[in-house]
Amino acid sequence: MTHARPLADLRAVRLFLLDMDGTFYLGDRLLERSLECIETFRATGREFLFLTNNSSKNKRIYAEKIRKMGLEIGDDAVFSSGEATAIYLSDRHPGARLYVVGTPALEEEFTAAGFVLDDRDPEIVVLGFDTTLTYDKIWKLCDFVRAGKPYIATHPDFNCPIEGGWMPDVGGMIAMVEACTGQRPTVIGKPNAAIIEALEKRTRIARSEIAMVGDRLYTDIALGANAGILSVLVLSGETTAEDLTTSEIRPDFVFSNLGGIADVLNGSAERPSH
């Protein structure tokens, strides 16, 4: 693979942020050399966090899924756009009354952070990836947005990858609310720098020592440019080598899978995938 930065820059990274679907696993299947990469992080004294835009589940649910795949991690090894949104709002509006369009897991994220759920007179409205979405929820959200309530969305993805296809994501809900109200939200998740600002508050690690690793150019890799951190593209998910030739979004490093990072950190060249 060709890289835009010297490999020494990658070896200087202290914290690797890993996307999950299409990067570490796909559906319920671990991707090639994923566990080897984590073992290398641990052996070389580096930290890692699984970073996901998917706010339909909280970190406890994600961590349990990863443990079932054979990697022993604590719940705090996962950082979602839902948690980032809770941190963002805690800094600006601690304990506020929120109308949350989201799953019970996302609601739990906000109540655990000290917010009060209120579907009658909220101070702020939050739109997440709601797989329990109803017409009534969207109707209320549009009414609150028209009334001028501050409007936050956890992330901008239009589709969520699943094994064998896609499911509609929060970006489609954002478009529907915009069509009805003319308003767009403040968006926290990738590729917006706000998710890294929230992460810095949690980890106390500087951006100069952080790298984002993922399979999507317009979220994972764009985050690198927007937040001023290194970006690493893996070709194990959505993006193909052909996509890369026509994209204006450019990663700092490109590997076929996570094993390429392990090889660099171990001082060897990337081995081809089989």
pLDDT tens-digit series, residues 159-207: 887 777 888 999 999 999 999 999 999 999 999 999 999 998 889 899 9
Is 7-53+191-265's fold the same as 94-187's?
A: yes
Average pLDDT over residues 26-40: 93
Residues 6+ apart with CB under 8 A from 74: 63
How close are the terminal C-alpha atoms of the chain, in Å? 15
Average pLDDT over residues 28-50: 95
How many helical (H) and strand (E) elements, i.e. helices and strands, does the chain have? 11, 15
Q: Which class does domain 94-187 fall in?
A: alpha beta
Instruction: Give pLDDT, residue 269.
Output: 57
Going from the C-alpha of 140 to that of each of 99, 103, 133, the distances in angstroms are 9, 16, 12
CA pair distance 15, 141, nearest whole angstrom: 37
Instruction: Give pLDDT, residue 208.
Output: 92
Structure tokens at 219: 């979220």
Per-chain mean pLDDT for the chain:
93
Compute CA 233 distance to the chain's CA centroid, rounded to the nearest angstrom. Answer: 14
Average pLDDT over residues 11-37: 93
Structure tokens at 112: 């655990």
pLDDT digits (tens, 9 = 90+) for 222-257: 999 999 999 999 999 889 999 999 999 999 999 999
Cβ atoms of residues 170 and 155 within 8 Å: yes
pLDDT digits (tens, 9 = 90+) for 81-126: 999 999 999 999 999 999 999 999 999 999 999 999 999 999 999 9
State whether CATH 3.40.50.1000 applies to domain 7-53+191-265. yes
User: How is the chain split into domains, by residue range?
Assistant: 7-53+191-265, 94-187
* Residue type present at position 130: D
Which pLDDT band, with edges at 50, 70 and 90, does 273 fall under?
A: very low
Query: With 80 as the cut, is the pLDDT of residue 46 above it?
Result: yes
Q: 191 preceded by cis ω (within 30°)?
A: yes
Query: With 50 as the cut, is the pLDDT of residue 274 above it?
Result: no
Which pLDDT band, with edges at 50, 70 and 90, does 272 fall under?
A: very low
Instruction: Give pLDDT, residue 166.
Output: 83
- Given its phi and psi angles, is residue 14 left (phi above 0), alpha (psi -120 to 50 degrees) or beta? alpha
Query: With 90 as the cut, is the pLDDT of residue 3 above it?
Result: no
